[in-house]
A and B are shown apart, each in its own frame.
Chain A
Amino acid sequence: MKFLDEYRDEALATKIVDEICRITTRPWVLMEVCGGQTHSIVKYGIDRLLPDTIELVHGPGCPVCVTSLEMIDKAHAIAQRPDVIFCSFGDMLRVPGSEDDLLILKSRGADVRVVYSPIDCLKIARANPDKKVVFFAIGFETTAPANAMSVFQARKQGIKNFSILVSHVLVPPSIASILQSPLNRVQGFLGPGHVCTVMGYHEYEPIADRFKVPIVITGFEPIDILEGVLMTVRQLESGTHTVENQYPRVVQRDGNRVAQQLVNDVFEVCDRRVRADRHSGRRFNDRAPARIRNARGGKPISASGPTRRQPGGATIGQRCVRSVRSQMARRRIHSEKRL
């Protein structure tokens, strides 16, 4: 496929790795922020291609992982109501709450449906006027425009039986939180390419400046990731700390203004404390323009049911520290095995 296959070229990957090896004079710890980047790194074995001096720490950018237990329990309580059709991306089906997961609830008779896009929920809502259709709106900035559009269209099309359970998370406060941790070891970041497709990357410039870390907005194919590593290491080796864009074929500095406008109209920034830090999430904007207000449709659905606190109540900063520690532990095990 065009724009995919050429970024998987093995010979080119080898040359970039050679260049990384050539310019690296000391160990560096890099974090890829996005779960999709982690997926590519593991799938293509990129971490094993890199020299031992480059350590990749997997970042917080998996919306499934950072969704709080309280929110998952709330989703499950709603999904079990007989008057609800509960819609979700497939990723969330097996994620356990305090008691069950959505697949188990479905096997017990709950009407849980997987959708490809939140906009598909509007069709389900129109076809089931006697039911309340609820979408589990998780995700980072990449997914927020799709969820905002579903709300906007529900309002515009007069669909009253559609609601979303908002659990959005933001990336820049997560990076700042990691950097503020006294145990942080991360020295440079591969920034989240698709988040920045929506939001642009100007938000990262004050972070790079304040914490003196290079942030390279990076794509998701093997060549993208290796080039992102090369650009980050170049900055680290030369002592610079700016935001660079490795992924200009889709990312512009200002992002997608049309999408940002609707996201800001529908949602507002809020504290989402459990697996992130303050001001790191989005909820419905109570001061939304009239074209958006009441788009939730009908009365708010209460989520009575068991809710428990997140075990450990980890913040993203702590999560990062944990992942660093677990990597160190794994390395110890490796070295012990070798001995």
Chain B
Amino acid sequence: MCLAIPGKLIEIASDSNGVRMGKANFGGIVKQVCLEYTPEVQNGDYVLVHVGFALSKVNEEEAARTYKLLEEMKQLGELDTPDVDPWSTGKAAEST
């Protein structure tokens, strides 16, 4: 029920009743989305959609920032892993 997924807005237009609607692409599946609650969104933005309503614009800077922090954690973890790493051996072999 609380399922909401991000989709990319590919079209914005008002319907015959003046309701602000749009089309969002969800990995190839295109659905009609009501944009009345997200007046700020533009074509090309990602929106979080629940039961046909865009509830929020996906903040790409926040997403990138959070993911960068997490990725750093992953890389730190990799630096912590010493000993035998078959991948580094392979890369070393390739580079020589």
Using a CB–CB distance below 8 Å, which chain A residues touch chain B? 1-4, 6-7, 9, 11-12, 15-16, 18-19, 34-36, 61-64, 89, 91, 116-120, 138-140, 142-143, 145-146, 149, 153, 156-157, 192, 194-195, 197-198, 220, 223, 227, 248-252, 256, 258-259, 262
Contact = CB atoms under 8 A, between A and B. Distances in A.
Given A140-B1, A223-B70, A18 B77 contact: yes
Interface of B: 1-6, 8, 17, 19, 26-27, 34, 36-39, 46, 48, 50-53, 55-56, 58-60, 62-63, 66-67, 70-71, 73-74, 77
A35 B1 CA distance: 8
B61 to A, nearest CB: 9
B18 to A, nearest CB: 8
Sort A-B residue pairs by CB-CB distance and give the 8 closest, nearest first.
A117-B52, A249-B63, A1-B27, A36-B2, A15-B77, A3-B6, A248-B62, A259-B37
A149 B53 contact: yes
8 contacts: A7-B67, A12-B74, A19-B77, A143-B50, A145-B53, A153-B19, A156-B17, A248-B62
A197 B74 contact: no
B2 A192 contact: yes
**In the complex, which of the residues B1, B48, B60 has the most CB atoms of chain A within 10 Å of its own CB atom?**
B1
A36 B39 CA distance: 27
B6 A1 contact: yes
Contacts of B62: 248-249
A194 B3 CA distance: 8
A256 B8 CA distance: 19
Contact of A249 (B39, B66, B70): B66
B10 to A, nearest CB: 13
